[in-house]
Every structure is written in C-alpha cells, then in structure tokens.
Chain A
Amino acid sequence: MAKSEDEIVVEDPPAPASDSPAVTSNRAVDVVVSLLLLAFAGLLAFDNWRTGMGWDATGPQAGYFPFYLSVILAAACLWGVAKEFLVREQASGTFVTREQLRRVLQVFVPTLLFCLFTQWLGLYVASFLLIAGFMVFVGRIAVWKSLLTAFLFSLIMFVTFEIAFDVLMPKGPLEALFGR
C-alpha cells in the first residue's frame, strides 16, 4: 500500500480570496429575478390571451394551457417577492463576491467571444482560439503547451465529428481553404 501515499496536488494561484467584498446579496438577486420572471409571465400571458385562451368547439384553444401556466408563474413570483419583504429576520447569504465575479467573467466573456467567433470563423477555429487564449491568459500556462493542446483538441473534435460521425459544425474561411 506504499502507493497510496502518493499525493496529487494541483495549485490554483489566482483563486478568489475568501475575504473579498460582496457585490450583491442573494435576497437582492432573488427579488430581481422574481420581478423579471413576473414581467416575463405577464408578456407570455398577454401573448396567449391574444392567441386565444378560452374554449371553442374543439376544446381548449392553443393559448389556454400556457395562459394559466403564466398565471401560476406570476403568482409564484409574487409570492416569492412578498416573502422576501415580509420575512425579514432570516439572514441572506452573499450572492457573489467581487473576486468571484471577476473569475466568473473570466470564463463568461471568452465564452461569449467564442460564440461570436463561431459565427464568423467557424467552430473549429473559434475553439482553437478559445482554448489557447484561455490557457495562456487565464491559466498562465506556457504558450507552446497551450497552442499544442488547443490545436490537438480542435483537430480531434474535427476528426470525430466531421469525419467519423458525420455531424456537421459551422465552418468558416479556414475550412473553405481546405475544401470542406
């Protein structure tokens, strides 16, 4: 059993500090989300009312089922908001701290860019850029390692999906160059 003494250790230097100030509380987000959903429910209820939420000769109209669901959704949201304002004593946790938000944006923004690039450059080029960029700038991993990993991953994906399984992805100018 000597082997079980081996330890696997992975460090994470840019980890968020635990004493980072809070950006917003759970209660605030809870209320905002409830209100947004309430507005959404109102919108859907209106649309379904327009479609027809009553009964006709064949039974319930197309808007009947969703209309009452939007009413239920709205009611549940109102209940949630009311509860947040009436039941004050319970402590509300932190939704996200500043450092955490920074880290989340570190993934979210590249993902957003990746989606944009997929539209213009095709998925495989965008995937190469995302992985390489993320590893270099966020993970602080050596450039050659990052480029190699990104290239290999994109290539493996290409071979697996486009060639082996015939699942076609959005492609851009680079793939056109190779005649795919």
Chain B
Amino acid sequence: MEAFGLLVYGFSVLLTWKILALMMVGLVLGIFVGVLPGLGGPNGVAILLPLTFTMDPTSAIVMLSCIYWGALFGGAITSILFNIPGEAWSVATTFDGYPMAQQGKAAEALTAAFTSSFIGSLVAVLLITFLAPGIASFALRFGPPEFFAVYLLTFCSFVGLGREEKHKTIISMALGLLLAGVGMDTVSGQLRMTFGLDELLRGINFLVAVIGLFGISEILLTMEERLALRGHAASISLRTVLKVWKEMPRYWVTLLRSSAIGCWLGITPGGAIAASFMSYNLAKRFSKDKESFGKGRIEGVFAPETAAHASGTSALLPMLALGIPGSGTAAILLGGLMVWGLNPGPLLFVEHKGFVWGLIASMYLGNVVGLVLVLTTVPLFAAILRVPFSAIAPMIVVSCAIGAYAIQNAMFDIWLMLLFGVVGYVFKKIGIPLAPFTLALVLGNRAEDSFRLSMIGAGGDMRVFWSNGLVGSIATLALVLLFWPLIGGAFGRLRSAFGKKTA
C-alpha cells in the first residue's frame, strides 16, 4: 500500500490553515461560477487562474481544482431548480431533476445530485490514487517516439470518437496546433508565422485563447437567448438528506455503472458530456420502469450526475500521469502547471511529490467539504440567479479582461481575447467543436517537439513509430481510432442516431 502512505503524506501537505482557507474560497467561487449563466467550469478556472500566479504551485492547484469541483456541483443547482443546465454535462440532469423540482421534491433532487456527484468523484479519485502512480512510473520509460504516439492517440481519438462532423474536428484541431506553433520555434530558435508582429513573438497564449473562446463567446451566446427564468427556491433539511441517503443503497447498480462509464470516458479525451448522457440512457434501458424516466425519477438524477463527476475527476488522471488532459478544464489546469514552472508529465510524480499528492488529497477533502457546503448553502446560491444578467454580463467581461491581461501583462492579449470571443461564438454556432482546439493549443508545442526529437533520433525514418512493441501498438491504436468511423461505420451510425434522440 505505497499509495496509501503517499496519500497520508499528501494530507500532511494539505492540512495548513492557509490551504484549507484557499480551498473554501475556491469551492465558493466555483459554485458561484457553476450557477451563473454564461460562466462554466473551463472559463471560470481560466479567469481565476491569474489569482494564483503569486502563490506556490500546491496552493494554486488546490484552489483551482476546488473551483473546478465547485463548478461541477454548481451546475446541478441550476439544472434542477431552473431547468437551465449550467454546463453541457448537466443537460441530462434536467431530464428528471427539473420535474422533481416541479413536484415539490427539489430538495430530494438536489441532495441526490450532490451525493451522487460526490460518489462519482470519489470513485474516480480512488482510481487516480491507485492507478496514476503506476501509469506515471510506466511512462517514465517513454522516449520522444512514445510520447508522440500518445499525443497522436489523443488527437486521433478526438477525431474518431467525437460526435461532431469529422472535418470540423480536424479543422479545430489543425488550427489549434498551428496557433500553438506561432512565435519562436523551440528547437531551432527560428521565428515562425509572426508576420513581423512583435506581439506574436511570445506566441499565442493558451489561456488568453481559452478566456476568449469560452468566456466572451459564452456571454454573446447567452445574450441571444431569452433570459427570463422561472424556477424554484429550495432549502435542504437534514431530514431530506437522511431520507435520500437511506434510499440510495437501492440504486447501487446505477451508481456503480455510472461511475464506471464516467471514469472510462473521462480518461479518454472529450468524454464528460457523452458520459452523462450514456449513463442516463443505460439507467433507463436497464430499468424495470422505463416510463417513469423523464417524469421525476430520482434514479434519473443519480445516473448522469455520478457519471459527469466521475469523468470530470478522472480527466485529471492522464493529465497528472502523462501530461495529457482528458477534458477542457484539465487542459487549463495543465496550462496552469506550466505557468507555475512545473513540467507536466510522469516526472511530476518523482520531482514534485508534495504537489501531486497534495492535489490528490485535496480531491478527497475538496469533495467532502464541497458536499457539505452545497447541501447547506443551496438557497443562497439559488438566489444569485435573481441578479439580472445585464449586471452580471459586464462583470464577467471585466473579469475576463483582467484574466487575459494578467497572464503576460499585455494589452495585446485583451484584443486577442476579444478576437477569440468572436471566433468561439461563430464556431459554436456552426458546430466546430472547441475542445479539440483547446487541447491542440496546449499540447501543440510538446507534440511537435517530441515528433522532431524522434525524427532527429531516428535520422528521419518514420518507422521509428513502429520500432518496438510499445510505441508500435500505441501508434497503431491511434490510427485505428482515427479511422474508427470507417471501421465501425455501422456501429457509429447507430450510436449517433441514438445520441441525437437524447440531445
């Protein structure tokens, strides 16, 4: 039980008043971000990232990851009370959560959502605790060809497994990789794609792009819609909580299945949204009473919430162990690591034990504290929605600008953010997915470096990617995933038809 000892060590890193206070601040901010329309997990984390620049990495990641947990919890509040999913992965929660609230069972629905979120992330954290160190130490043997193969696998799985039109995923990814290359070339020191603009020498900052793509564009999109809302106020009493908890063990199959789906889809990139829908659908399919789904069945809240949280949490596993984020938010946390001067990847487990195990321990603690916090403060957060959007929208714009500027103290970045805001707005409307872009932008340089290093090592022979069993099987798997739509064509068509029905 080596992991256990290290975990205890992680808790010892964590248990200082300063970090505990930051954790609370992070959770409250996160729930805030999750509840507010036009803000969500990824942009909340991106906007608040500058707050952490002057902190040490451990405090910084603890606070940021708590913002993330908070946002995950917060998304459920608006889904259930107002039928407005704060995040795409909360959409499935509205199917049964909102009907429950209409029947006056809002408190039960909320308790169910929070508790199952907690269970989902707990399962995922356990997975991280026991699996991540092993994967990391295995990955220590990786050379540049292996790493390039893993990056390739990540990109290919987006194209092959994504629900969007393939060419749009490719556009998004190629654009991200290209923009990542702008500026000084890390291998030769040459300038590329700067077109004589001094501001582009530094390259296009990943976080600036994220703030624009998710923050600004989300405001534009939110404004388009009718902002009037009507929902239920709710407060949760201890009796309700105990009642729901007593019922819970009956649904252990659903909880377990949803956790498993969540963990699996969380580790493969781009899966959080798919996870919540899939586990909802499976819960429905395996239920004896299919008709009652969508009419306020508690199981219909358990399933998607467990899966969403499990996948949201397990998305951090590949980020920690391999330096490859499993979700948009994980990509931003990865961007944060680089800002704090840490090099993401398997060496993190060796060189920065305190950081890694502090983070893992904070996942346990953060989720427990988060659960208690949301259960007790729901009425407060639901009341935030009374604040008119015309007051919130400009505040979010200002926060985005602060975040974008603070990263490199450059006015140019504020303009860049605005540009990415418009790009994000248009892309979202015509169905070009943003997640592959984000991932490509953050991984671009590392992917290119590993490619060129392997080429230099092999003297330009592409066969280096099939030179041994390990790299060969990863590279082959990548290609299989890339052409998965052709290979599993019939299966794919079936699944997308199934997906469209629920989305």
Tell me if chain B binds chain A: yes
Q: Which residues of A contact B (CB under 8 A)?
A: 1, 3-12, 15-16, 26, 29-30, 33-34, 37, 41, 44, 47-48, 51-52, 55, 58-66, 69-70, 72-73, 76-77, 79-80, 83, 95-96, 100, 103-104, 106-108, 110-112, 114-115, 118-119, 123, 127, 130-131, 134-135, 138-141, 146, 149, 153-154, 157, 160-161, 165-170
Other-chain residue from B175, B191, B429 in contact with A96 (beta carbon distance below 8 A): B429
Q: CB distance B234 to A4 under 8 Å?
A: yes
Question: Which of A12, A64, A123 is B227 in contact with, Cβ under 8 Å?
Answer: A12
Instruction: Establish whether residues A63 and B192, one from each chain, have CB atoms under 8 Å apart when the complex forms.
Output: yes
Tell me if A139 and B388 are in contact (CB < 8 A). Answer: yes
Cα A129 to Cα B145 with chains together (Å): 53
15 residue pairs of the A-B complex, CB under 8 angstroms, read A4-B101, A8-B383, A8-B385, A29-B429, A29-B430, A51-B192, A96-B429, A108-B220, A110-B394, A123-B402, A127-B394, A161-B406, A165-B54, A167-B51, A168-B409
Q: Indicate whether B170 reaches chain A with its CB closer than 8 angstroms.
A: yes
Number of A-B contacts (CB under 8 A): 235
| CB atoms of A3 and B234 under 8 A apart | yes
Q: Are A104 and B220 in contact (CB under 8 A)?
A: yes
Q: How large is the interface on B (under 10, 10 to 19, 20 to 34, 35 or more residues)?
A: 35 or more
Identify the stretch in B126-134, B181-189, B484-492 within 8 Å (CB) of chain A at 4 or more residues: B181-189
Distance in angstroms between the alpha carbons of A123 and B178 in the assembled complex:
31
**Which of A16, A114, A149 is B401 in contact with, Cβ under 8 Å?**
A114
Known: A8-B385, A10-B386, A26-B429. A47 touches B233 (CB 8 A): no
Instruction: Kindly report which residue of chain A lies nearest to residue B226, judged by CB atoms.
Output: A15
Bound Cα distance A5, B385 (Å): 17
Residues of B close to A127: CB separation below 8 A: 394, 398, 401
Complex Cα distance, B231 from A7, in Å, reads 6
A100 to B447, CA, bound (A): 40
B167:A79 contact, CB within 8 angstroms: yes
Complex interface: chain B residues within 8 A of A66 (CB): 177-178, 181, 192-193
- Report the separation of the CA atoms of residues A57 and B220 in the bound assembly, to the nearest whole angstrom: 50
The smallest beta-carbon distance between B423 and chain A, in angstroms, is 9
What does DSSP make chain A's interface, helix, strand, loop or mixed? Answer: helix
Interface residues of B (CB under 8 A from A): 50-51, 53-54, 81-82, 101, 104-107, 165, 167-168, 170-171, 174-175, 177-178, 181, 185, 187-188, 190-193, 195, 216, 219-220, 223-235, 382-383, 385-386, 388-391, 393-395, 397-399, 401-402, 405-406, 409, 411, 414-415, 418, 421-422, 425-427, 429-432, 448, 451-452, 455-456, 460
Verify A83–B451 contact, CB threshold 8 A. Answer: no
What are the residues of chain B within 8 A of A10 when measuring CB–CB? 227-230, 385-386, 388
Q: Which residues of A contact B192 (CB under 8 A)?
A: 47-48, 51, 62-63, 66
User: B426's contact among A9, A33, A73, A146, by CB below 8 Å, is which?
Assistant: A33
